[in-house]
Amino acid sequence: MLIAGNWKMYKGPAETAEFCVDLKRRLDDLDAVDVAVCPPFTSLAVAVQILAGTEIAVAAQNVHWEREGAFTGEVSAPMLRELGVYGAIVGHSERRQYFGETDATVAKRAKAALEAGLSVIACVGETETEREAGETKDVLRRQVSVLEGEDNLVVAYEPVWAIGTGKTATPELAQEAHAFIKGLLDVPVLYGGSVKPENAGELLELPDVDGALVGGASLDVESFAAICLSATHS
């Protein structure tokens, strides 16, 4: 079971330090659950420093596919490794929606990160329009197909219509999507989409849900710790 917190563009180094000290204290006795935090690039180093020696991993929110080069504004997998970062998210719906991410570039990012020794959380999921048109399985099949053959990979199913909207897939919809993805790819599958302490337990108990990629609720240490602790009962 993996609970990963995607902080998006929140928390500079000072706030990150305060959060990580508190999280370390709250999860000191946590067993049987893997936990990761995914701060912005500028806060990775302080998170790695404070969480060193704990079981809480630090991952980036994105990674470039080249090792180095003239790619202004990008960060490579070897750079993240040098910082002590454990892994990276690739293909988040916000990257696809706002920054032109495609299945092809997601595949390149995932491959480069994995080859450099990073773990990868690759995000897939349908929009509300695609779901209403009955295209969910076609979308998931296409997005997952570019990840075939990769090891040390985790997939996060995040229905785009549930990202930051407060909407959550019903347990039945989530289970159906997770089972479908696992039929295509033999990897752990996390659920992402307005996961909160109030609904985490029900979602994490589903047979094909292997954890959660938590957005807004991961920004509050009490809320995130509660989700991590609820995973111990799943």
Per-residue pLDDT of the chain (234 residues; tens, 9 = 90+): 999 999 999 999 999 999 999 999 999 988 889 999 999 999 999 999 999 999 999 999 999 999 999 999 999 999 999 999 999 999 999 999 999 999 999 999 999 999 999 999 999 999 888 988 999 999 999 999 999 888 889 999 999 877 767 777 788 999 999 999 999 999 999 999 889 999 999 999 999 999 999 999 999 999 999 999 999 876
Dihedral of CA 151/192/160/15: which sign? negative
**Alpha-carbon Rg of the chain, whole angstroms?**
17
Concerning whether 92 is annotated as a catalytic residue, the answer is yes
Whether the pTM exceeds 0.85: the reply is: yes
Beta carbons of 206 and 172 less than 8 angstroms apart: no
Concerning whether 233 is annotated as a catalytic residue, the answer is no
pLDDT score at 164: 67
Residue ranges of the domains in the chain? Answer: 2-231
CA–chain centroid gap for 57, Å, is 12
Distance, CA of 75 to CA of 23 (rounded, Å):
26
**How many C-beta atoms surround the C-beta of residue 208 within 10 A?**
18
Q: Which CATH number is 2-231 given?
A: 3.20.20.70
Catalytic hit among 94, 101, 126, 158:
158
Catalytic hit among 92, 101, 126, 178:
92
The DSSP H or E segment spanning 89 is strand 87-90
Dihedral of CA 41/58/188/193: which sign? negative
